Structure 1
Amino acid sequence: MESLHAHTNLPYSRPATPGLHPSQIGFVGIGAMGYFMARNLANRRVIPGFTNSPLLLWNRSPERPQKLVKELGEDRVRITQSLEELVNSCDVVITNLANDAVVKSIYEQFVKTLTQNSPVRSKIFVETSTVGEIDGSLSKIPHTHFITSPVFGTPAVADKAQLVIVMSGDYRSKKEVAYLLVPSVGRKVIDLGENVEKAPTFKLIGNSMILGAIEVFGEAYTLGEKAGIEADRVNDLMAYSDRMAKDSFDGTIGFAIEGGIKDASHIRHLTSTYDSPMPVIDVAHQHLITARAIHNAQKREGKAVVDTLDWSGIIAGSRVAAGLDPFDSKKHQNVVLEDD
């Protein structure tokens, strides 16, 4: 039985039973977030009206899908040999992709496949990453629906199936997908109407608040470090910034800096589109690029502590501007002011 509490976090009534419920689900993009989302979806509870056939997977590299098959078994997940096979086989295709270029490439392949083999029953495509521009050509294909559904949360949150899911697009499609994703993948859904642009915009607004906060935290920590005030003391004021206080910059368990730069770029484009400046995001964007440049230089020299830098590494921008080590607070020398 599903938790009754889960229904209070869904802004839709349950899909009609019996009815045309999705019978085959596919997942494209088994990355840091996608791995946990796909795993939890494959382990989803039995939902009335939905069959429990294996979740079909596709990823550009085979290692992570193979790891998931090894973890769950082929009765829960199965790797498809091509995107075409997955698209033609599935009623719902969920994507979680790295960046705009990959999203564009994958969805162009979806359109090509569906144009060559027009679907005879409803197909729903669900894009869960943060994208800058939405291509509406998919929705022009008969029996095909596209919804945007970005998620809030880190891989650790995805691991616990506690993501907050934002949706915009076709109402019936959102209803079907919401009952697939909650509570198996996330804890609640926020509905932003039928305009597919709304959900990604909402995600960027949310990330602008997070990114702005991280930038302010980074500046405050740097000032504290220069003044000889331990980061843990400053951290007592704000719990979120614990990663910066402890120099914990591993992006494989957080939010990779490439994603932060991408989102910052999208946020700046949004502020330009609506003539609504956000100066702190401009600074944050500069500091993210600074942090990435330093990290890449360290990788080339074989001195990088982590392979993937978390976006909390933004503090490197403030630190180097203050003459401090970018990623190791243990190397800082405090400024001692002499009494007059």
Structure 2
Amino acid sequence: MDWFGKHGSGMYFTLSIRVKLIVLQGMCKNLVSKGNLEKPLIIFNRTKQRADDLNAKLGTGKSVVASELGDAVQKADIVFTCLGDDTAITDAIATALKQDVKDKLFVDCSTVHPSTTGTIANSIESQGAEFVSCPVFGAPAMAESGQLVCVLAGPSSATDKVKPYCKGVMGRANIDFSDQPQQKASLLKIIGNTFILNMIESVSEGHALAEKSGLGNENLHQFIENLFPGVYTAYSGRMMSGDYYKREEPLFGVDLARKDAKHAMDLAQASGTRMKDIEVADGHLTDVQKHMGSKGDIAGIYGAVRQEAGLKFENKD
């Protein structure tokens, strides 16, 4: 769990999953370089070494490391959080609210169920603090280059305080739900992430068919490069290179991906509809978990699709 804050008119962030840690590093880098911060960021991590490493990476005088979560919250006026799952963010907020948080602003970037966002909002606002839901879209490289897309929801009096740190600093664009319930931002984030899952499923199935039919993966990749540059091409390349199973740590962990899929399916059921593509993708993610355990990556869907096609999970010897 990582937090960063700026004392004075401050900021603060929390994370626990490696993919989010990578994203956080990019966000912090852009905050200290482009955010016009008056004082150093305050960084806290349950694993102190990670906080120390990030502190060193940001450069002398750009940040400080807090030894306790409560200490970080006390010194920050704006508190950013971004944890891996609903339990983690709920627990972190409960710990933060043990401090006097009156008039502080909390900004949560976690990908969680809208009901969790609603619960957090009620808890924070009942303590006299403000709350903005601000999940972000974008891979680690986009975070590093300040190209994230930030979704903001909550009272405009609060979102207006957050926007100066989003577009032009941490992100390239804002999707603005000011004066709408904070849950709306989480709802868009969950639905938006299903597009990523569906994309990976489609590219995986296409590559499996290209290999089995004799078209060849290189030929399919050329098609993807020319018609779908960007994220489609990136995932196609990861599949072809074997990166989807070779990584020591996942770029986007299978546990996180399944959490998002389950939230999407739950929301669909509650709304009287279904997301059949996500049901298929979640089945493949289950196979990735069985094959790779905690090292499984969302792109491992390709390995699961390969197995269904009678191929080995791994595409390289």
Q: Distance in 2 between matches of 1:317 and 1:62?
A: 36
Give the aligned partner of residue 262 of structure 1.
Answer: 259
Q: What residue number does 1:247 align with? A: 242
Task: Tell me, in whole angstroms, the C-alpha distance in 2 between the residues paired with 1:102 and 1:255.
Answer: 17
C-alpha displacement at 1:252, in angstroms? 5.3
Secondary structure at the aligned position of 1:28 is classed as coil
Q: CA deviation at 1:45?
A: 4.4
> 2:80, 2:107 within 8 Å by CA — same for their partners in 1?
yes
- State TM-score, norm by structure 1: 0.80
Q: 1:253 to 1:184 in 2, by over 3 A?
A: farther
Alignment correspondent of 2:105:
124
**Higher fraction of helix:** 2
Q: CA deviation at 1:79?
A: 0.8
The aligned counterpart of 1:174 is 159
Q: Distance in 2 between matches of 1:45 and 1:197?
A: 26
Where does residue 89 of structure 1 map in the other structure? 75
Question: Does the residue aligned with 1:25 lie in a helix, a strand or coil?
Answer: coil
Among 217, 221, 227, the residue aligned to 2:203 = 217
| Residue 42 in structure 1 maps to residue 40 in structure 2 | no
Question: Structure 1: how far apart are the matches of 2:303 and 2:274?
Answer: 24
CA displacement 1:250-292 (0-9 Å, x = unmatched):
4858423222111111111111111121111001001011112
C-alpha separation in 2, matches of 1:109 and 1:61: 17
* Shift in alpha-carbon separation, 1:37–1:118, aligned structure 2, 3 A: closer
Structure 1 residue corresponding to 2:181, chosen from 150, 174, 195: 195
The answer to whether the aligner puts 1:315 opposite 2:302 as a matched pair is: yes
User: SS at the partner of 1:161?
Assistant: coil
1:108-147 to structure 2, matched below 5 A, reads 108-113=94-99, 117=100, 119=102, 122-132=103-113, 133-134=116-117, 135=119, 136-142=122-128, 144-147=129-132
RMSD over aligned CA atoms reads 2.0
1:6 corresponds to: none
Q: Deviations over 1:58-77 (max 9, x none)?
A: 11111221112212235111
C-alpha separation between the residues in 1 aligned to 2:145 and 2:101? 37
Residues 22 and 178 of structure 1: CA distance in aligned 2, closer, same or farther (over 3 Å)? farther
Asked if structure 2 preserves the Cα contact closer than 8 Å seen for 1:41 and 1:181, the reply is no
1:283 and 2:280 are equivalent in the alignment: yes
Q: Secondary structure at the match of 2:98?
A: helix
* 1:148 partner amino acid: S
Contact 2:8 2:38 in 1 (8 A): no
Q: Which amino acid aligns with 1:208?
A: T
Counterpart AA for 2:112:
V
SS in 1 for 2:39: coil
Q: Tell me the amino acid that sits aligned with residue 162 of structure 1.
A: Q
Aligned to 1:152: 137
The structure 1 segments of at least 4 consecutive aligned residues displaced by more than 3 Å after TM superposition are 250-254
> What amino acid maps onto 2:28 in structure 1?
A
The equivalent residue for 2:228 is: none
CA-CA distance at 1:23 after TM superposition: 1.5
**Partner SS for 1:324:** coil
Mark the structure with the bigger radius of gyration. Answer: 1
Q: What SS does the corresponding residue of 1:255 show, helix, strand or coil?
A: coil
How many residue pairs end up in the alignment?
A: 290
Query: 1:320, CA displacement in angstroms?
Result: 1.0
Mapped contact 2:124–2:131 kept (Cα < 8 A): yes
Matched-pair contact (CA < 8 Å) for 1:182–1:188: yes
TM-score by length of 2: 0.85
- Cα distance between partner residues in 2 of 1:118 and 1:214: 41
Equivalent residue for 2:22, pick from 32, 50, 67: 32
2-structure distance, mates of 1:168, 1:288: 30
Shift of residue 237 of structure 1? 2.9
Could you report, residue by residue, the CA deviation over 1:101-124 in whole angstroms, capped at 9, with x for unpaired residues? 2111101112222xxx353xx211
